[in-house]
Structure 1
């Protein structure tokens, strides 16, 4: 699924597309609708960078065993060893 946001709307919000993606990702992570891995992918950031963004905003990580397993599987699929 794709969402089209007009340049006019981005200009009105005084945001870039990347900033909007990050804001949506942070919000959905904070609401526990996305895992850390999912939110970092939506924000188009690696997980460490996304964690720094969360830390800068004083947003705690909610990271459980299921998310750890998901991250391990993602790393395996990417060929990381």
Structure 2
């Protein structure tokens, strides 16, 4: 499913984002907003933002957004840490 959003020209022009970066920046900000509200998972938000895990985690930190950390991720991280001692 594709979704089109109309943003008034004056709003786009007032954005302090170069035109060629506007679409990517809006997708990224929407992804962070949806993730921060618990509407989407990190994987889905990263897909929407079109960025890798590490850039997404950096973006969360820059915006002061807490990571939604579940038990499965904790087990995975613990196993990784234990295997690299």
Instruction: Identify the TM-score tier after normalising by the shorter chain.
Output: 0.5 to 0.7
What TM-score, normalized by structure 1, do the two folds share? 0.68
Between the two proteins, the alignment pairs up a number of residues equal to 68
Q: Which has the larger radius of gyration?
A: 2
Q: Distance in 1 between matches of 2:47 and 2:69?
A: 16
TM-score normalised by length of structure 2: 0.65
Q: Specify which of 41, 56, 65 is matched with residue 59 of structure 1.
A: 65
State the Cα RMSD in Å: 2.4
Once the two structures are superposed, what CA deviation does each residue of 1:21-77 show, in whole Å capped at 9, x if it has no partner? 011101100000111111011000011101100101111101213xx57xx9xxxxx
Structure 1 residue runs of 5 or longer lacking an equivalent are 73-81
